[in-house]
Structure 1
Amino acid sequence: MDAVYSALRDQPVLVTGATGFIGRALTQRLIALGAQVTLFLRPRPASKPLPWPSLHVHWGEIQDGEAVAQAVEATTPRLVFHLAAVGATEPWVDEDLALAVNLRGTLHLLRALRRLQASGGDVRRVVLVGTAYEYGERRGVEGLDPPNIYAASKVAAWAFARVYHRAYGLPLVVVRPFNTYGPGQQPPALVAAALQAALEGRDFPTTPGEQRRDFIYIDDVVEGFLVAATAPGIEGESLDLGTGLSTPIGEVVTRIYELVGGPGRPRIGALPPRPGTLWDLRADAQRTTQLTGWQARVGLEEGLPRTVAQARR
């Protein structure tokens, strides 16, 4: 598969939000492929050093338009992966913060890239990151019905991004990862939180567990990002990154405890459903395959044991 991405070698790539779960895995993959990676990151304390000390970093807040513009001007990227966001693990994030980071931050980046393109820059693809929750309970890419603040801010950002694509020709693609899991993920994500509790021998209380989610392994998500950045003829499209299958979360938590063993147990139904709970969320994986050839390769039956084994090392 690396041969498919040979065009990434020596290409200037800008990544925002590289310290999150997906961002870290994506950055590591880009480095392995030989891309010239530059990061745009929030300032962080010295006690939390980056895992890539040799990479060039522009420090700043995504809601600071001047800082974003300076990073784009200095990097002159051909590829951009925009992962910086708030609310992924706390969907009822403060509205003003969600608008400042997820909407205005995205607009700052789009403006800077448009200026770069207008001045002769070779912007080949901009991969924006949405969320599966933009759909609500609906199906299909036109059925957006966000159930929370985080998802609503992502829908708004995509609406502006489509304008930049249609009006200014900015080569945009949005990816919507579904419930991503795998080695290195941290709580409060469901799989990571349940796994940590099981390894520590604690019980893990959950909601009724009937909610169905499309769980996708981190390696498959990273491959989906790379395909979104390199597949021809998909500018202006949105791509679901999921398996197309949904599994009750209670089954996933129970399976984690079976794999770990120990004294703890899952307490399914110990908590009430959260407001705005979605009961069945799954990707339109077939459409993504038709557009790009990408498909998820690691199912839960393989991905959960991998994740547990890595956590035990």
Structure 2
Amino acid sequence: MKIFLTGGTGFIGSHFINQAHEAGHEIVAHRRAPESRSRIPLCREPQWLDKSIDSLAPADFTGCEVLVHLAAHSANVPYDTLENCIRQNVLAPLAMFRAASGAGLKRFVVAGSCFEYGRSGERHEFIPPDAGLEPVSSYPASKAAASVAFHSLACEEKLELLILRIFQVFGEGELETRFWPSLRKAALAGEDFPMSPGLQVRDFINVTEVAAGFVKALERKDLRPGEPVIENLGSGNPRSLIEFAKAEWHNLGATGKLLPGAVPMRANEVMRFVPVV
């Protein structure tokens, strides 16, 4: 299968490229600039296409059978403004989807975010995919708006659409300032690790499992034109942040100490994100 991919140099996208190539697929991978580098070593380079998402034309999708949209703007704190997030995560991808649809492409597999659920996550022990969307900051709000917009487009244009809302992904290639890479860096250096009290409950899933979920979605037989599907992508194993930290600290053979409570909670922190998977 020939895939058009966005976000190929990103954290999840790099793993997806390796797994999709291993499964025998061909990839045309969009990137913003030729100097962009993948987060992990690639076993084989895709065919790179260097241009802005909203300038893509139908000819760029020639021969492709599925569009996998993993690219995201401002996915890590501090988030960009709501206006810029909407522009980059909703309006630009919509232009791309229309160009792809104009080329005859009918299947779209999109990365969503658990943070789209926002405050509604705290009202569910396990969040169903049809739970209300109540995001509390700019990036999650733009992803929620994108879900609604892509859903509408799929219905109007009779496209096959699958949105996979990813839960607490971690692993090799993750941005160094995020929780797990920061924890690992301190553990391997023999340093103490200051953190919040760690009472947040999350569904932690390794990036290799996330990439595998997207590869599996490429050839699903249950997707129907004009009938979008939204699913959660998690491990099914909820843990508090402190429980996760203690387990990883032990696995890494850390000699320093975890210091829960040394860092304040983030403003508007949602305390529970656990999915129905």
TM superposition score normalised by structure 2 = 0.88
Q: 1:105 aligns with which of 56, 70, 92?
A: 92
Distance 1:55 1:157 in 2: 27
- Give the letter aligned to residue 87 of structure 2: A
Distance 2:37 2:159 in 1: 38
* Runs of at least 4 residues off by over 4 Å: 46-50
Distance 1:272 1:240 in 2: 29
Q: 1:176 aligns with which of 155, 165, 168?
A: 165
Distance 2:202 2:148 in 1: 25
Q: Which residue of 1 aligns with 2:46?
A: 55
Q: Which residue of 2 aligns with 1:31?
A: 21
Q: Which residue of 2 aligns with 1:20?
A: 10
The structure whose residues are more often helix, as a share, is 1
Judge conservation of contact 2:8–2:38 (CA < 8 Å) in 1.
no
Distance 2:106 2:155 in 1: 15
Distance 2:251 2:43 in 1: 33
1:269-284 equivalent positions in 2, closer than 5 A: 269-284=261-276
The Cα shift of 1:204 comes to 1.6
The structure whose residues are more often strand, as a share, is 2
Q: Which residue of 2 aligns with 1:245?
A: 237
The Cα shift of 1:84 comes to 0.9
Give the secondary-structure state (helix, strand or coil) at the position aligned to 1:230. coil
Change (3 A) 1:47 1:81: closer
Distance 2:37 2:144 in 1: 35
- Give the letter aligned to residue 213 of structure 1: R
The Cα shift of 1:53 comes to 6.5
Judge conservation of contact 1:203–1:265 (CA < 8 Å) in 2.
yes
Change (3 A) 1:274 1:70: same
The Cα shift of 1:189 comes to 2.6
Change (3 A) 1:71 1:156: farther
The Cα offsets for residues 81-131 of structure 1, whole Å up to 9 and x where unpaired, read as 1011112222632223212211112111211122112xxxxx242101110
The Cα offsets for residues 145-181 of structure 1, whole Å up to 9 and x where unpaired, read as 1121111101111111111111110111101111112
1:69-88 equivalent positions in 2, closer than 5 A: 69=57, 72-73=60-61, 75-88=62-75
Matched, 1:150 2:132: no
- Give the letter aligned to residue 127 of structure 1: V
Judge conservation of contact 1:69–1:112 (CA < 8 Å) in 2.
yes
- Give the letter aligned to residue 125 of structure 1: R
State the Cα RMSD in Å.
Answer: 2.2
**Higher RCO (C-alpha 8 Å, min separation 6):** 2
Judge conservation of contact 2:107–2:161 (CA < 8 Å) in 1.
yes
Change (3 A) 1:161 1:57: same
Judge conservation of contact 2:9–2:36 (CA < 8 Å) in 1.
no
- Give the letter aligned to residue 185 of structure 1: E
Distance 1:131 1:12 in 2: 25
1:1-313 equivalent positions in 2, closer than 5 A: 11-45=1-35, 51=42, 54-62=45-53, 65-66=54-55, 68-69=56-57, 72-73=60-61, 75-90=62-77, 92-117=79-104, 123-138=105-120, 139-142=127-130, 143-235=132-224, 236-285=228-277
Judge conservation of contact 1:246–1:280 (CA < 8 Å) in 2.
no
The Cα shift of 1:32 comes to 0.9
Q: Which residue of 2 aligns with 1:303?
A: none
- Unaligned stretches of 5+ residues in structure 1: 1-10, 118-122, 286-313
- Unaligned stretches of 5+ residues in structure 2: 121-126
